[in-house]
Amino acid sequence: MIEYYTFKHKGGQANYNEAVVPVASPELSIAIAATEKLGDTAAVAAKIIKDIMSSELVSRKVPDLASEIDRLTPDNTEYMVFKINDDRIDSMRRGGVYGKIVKNGELKVLPNGILGLEDEDRIVCGTEEFFSFLADEEILADSLFAESCQEWMNYMVKRISDINWLSGKNLSAVTLIVRSSE
């Protein structure tokens, strides 16, 4: 089983123009989009990604899904799309949206492609803006102390809030924990 928790915040901006879209069909598929660099087309790009994730396209393999996102969104749209189950994660990213995985007590950058997963592996994916306020040591410590995805996210959001009172740019992230089926 995959436990997950999403976080979306408009920060000090007038609107939230990014996207965090989880879809269960049958495995969990998630897209995260950072659209700040798109200016006036930010909301449109976020909507396109949400539409793709709520269509039959979500059933495609990750490289094909990423190709559709590339084809339908503006050239400088930054995103990460992945599919995850108890055994593996298959991910593809473009630009300043990426993931980190806590595996066996170590924090590493989540690579593009397929990576095997084990019970209690923990993953956080988010925008560059989200990660800009967090040191790797803090992400690791928070993941090891948290008992749930929501608790882990709360620890990280508190750290960001302590720095900027959540008054900066849009923030988007998701935490995931692999839970044994036993």
List pLDDT tens digits, range 31-55: 999 998 898 999 999 999 999 999 9
pLDDT band, residue 5 (cuts 50/70/90): very high
- Total domains in the chain come to 1
Region 161-174: what's the mean pLDDT?
A: 96
Q: Is the pLDDT of residue 162 over 70?
A: yes
- Other CB atoms closer than 10 Å to residue 11's CB: what's the count? 15
List the domain range (segments joined by +) for residue 75: 2-178
The confidence score (pLDDT) of residue 20 equals 97
pTM confidence score:
0.95
> pLDDT per residue over 79-127, tens digit each?
999 999 999 999 999 999 999 999 999 999 999 999 999 999 999 999 9
CATH (domain of 97): 3.60.40.10
Q: In the chain, what percentage of residues exceed pLDDT 70?
A: 99
